[in-house]
Structure 1
Amino acid sequence: MTSAATPLQGYLSDNAAGASPQILAAMTAAAEGLAAPYGNDELSQSVRTKFADVFDHHVDVFPVGTGSAANGLALSALTPPWGAVLSHPDAHINNDEAGAPEFFTNGARSILVDGPDSKIDADLFRAAVGRRRGDVHSVQPSVVSLTQATESGSAYSLDELAELSSIAHEAGLRVHMDGARFANALIAIGATPAEMSWKAGVDILSFGATKNGAMTADAVISFDGRLATELQYRHKRAGQLTSKMRFQTAQLGAYLDDDLWLNNARHANDMATRLRDGLAGLPGVKILSKSGANILFCHFPDHLSADLRAQGYAFYGDRWEPGVVRFVTSFAHHSSDIDTLVSSVTELTRGYRSVL
């Protein structure tokens, strides 16, 4: 971790953080001796058992190297090429994966369903799933993808997830969850892994670990055993069945052990709350995010953003409306890092007032 004396100034994303020491130790241990390849080693087998225990459900686990691969593989098992993937306009699969879902599904179309706080509105979703059903001239809604936590840092409640899943299943659609920040959402809404996945109607989950302490490991978690055979072949065909899979499953195993994943997410969420509370009320600063996961959106004057970047702070501010900036906190940020950032913003805003 970064020393408290040297502020961690990167707030672009939580994937800017390194890896938890427990993850590194597990990978070092996995490098000892020989092991069967392609996930047939004892470590990989034990991780499947750990996931089943965590979710209190039989699961099929397919480790992957990226969240985009997880999303693409998961969606490809749930929709034909003439199908459609319904998601929010803010979803990562729409904006940040360079057409990977279309590639993995051999051309399934994306249909966007809006809603506040980057969450799909149930009424709009109900209308979308019924539009042109059975019309051979139109793509057919096949799967809904729910991002949890969302790209704005909000999180669906269990009731919201259950309602959307119910609408989907009644219309014959399957339910995918993009859980790149699954652990952060669990902490934010106070749910269990089972409650926020299969009990809420989720068929398949893209389980994120890289943003929360792992190094190069995420996973597709399927709660439907009927998908296992297809996913096995798609996993291999996508180049994600690594020969030394034990190095990915070592990360995932250590991630789950002793609640490391939940402790890391809780800390990251707490850092976002600390930052929000520190910035609230400062002149020229408007908090846009509600309390949620580890993402904070604010409105800054342009000169404030420029001056912070000149001091070495890294954050996004050119992807949304003018003046809107985003800070993402991680397990690697210390309270002192957050306090130093707040102090920097405070001093800058004080300086602007003195000039005026």
Structure 2
Amino acid sequence: MNRRDVLKYSAYAAAFSASPSLVSAQKTSNSELLTRGDALNPSGIRMAGIQMIPVVGGKYKVWTKRIGSGPIKVLLLHGGPGATHEYLEAMESFLPQAGIEMYYYDQLGVGNSDVPDDPALWTLPRYLSEVEEVRRGLGLDHFVLYGHSWGGILAMEYALTYPQHLRGLVISNMTAGIQSYLKRIAVLKAQMLSPEMRSRLDALEAAKDYDNPEYSRIVEENLYPQVLCRTKPWPEPFDRSFRHLNQKIYNQMQGKSEFEVTGNLKDWERWDRLHEIKVKTLTMGATYDEMDPADMKKMATMMPNASYAFCPNGSHMALWDDQAVYFKQLLAFLGSV
């Protein structure tokens, strides 16, 4: 300890000595914290809402963070597969202020969670089991599950498998089947690309030449700014999450292209089971989304207790590029569950 540290410590000690009420408050606080200690946080120290939850039978841990406090608790499932919670940080400006308790969660393999190099882990059934492990680890029950994009797939699967734990479900910017997504992509390519550019993109995709710089240029300059996020520049949290994408997970589950599905999700379809989702549900779509908003509207008619929210100026990231409309409708739904 250097001289500066000694002086700093002495000042703190003097302050506590001069203020018995502060000392008492500190003791009370510490006592309360110790009573809240558990196996994951045995000392009960303040963790800024962060918990590391064991998954895969305790072999790995995933990062979660609670923000806010209230009777309505929302677990957020980010997209990708292989993205991080970071692009959902817009939630912090809206949910806690409405008295909603929200939980970020980086899925295994990304962000602040463990990142094992094991391809056997990157499957839908394994991720579904992980969501349930996270629910148990956080002690959530009768909660709202929010899923965006790939997170929407996980949310639908969870609602079909563990409906007893849910009080509400939000399926944001995700259709109920991969074939519907591919049909939408074909329409968007025709609308947004010149005939020459579309022909070149089709040729590169037919050759599976996804690493070709020309392919990246066409997609990143002509499609992403229109269908992924229309704000210019991209919001920093979205850009940060995009840069932190685990490409190995994405490639295995989605494939090497955003606009073709060649990974292990390619045969995923749940249109024929939507009627089984009976929990109160909100589907959310947007005009320029790579997911057809007509699909999200149709999905709401196929579930017995669902409603649809539309963002007229939004894209896949309507929570950023049509933010006021998006959160007005999301908060109204959350307040009704």
Q: Give me the TM-score of the superposition, normalised by structure 2.
A: 0.23
The structure with more helix, counted as a fraction of residues = 2
Q: Give me the TM-score of the superposition, normalised by structure 1.
A: 0.22
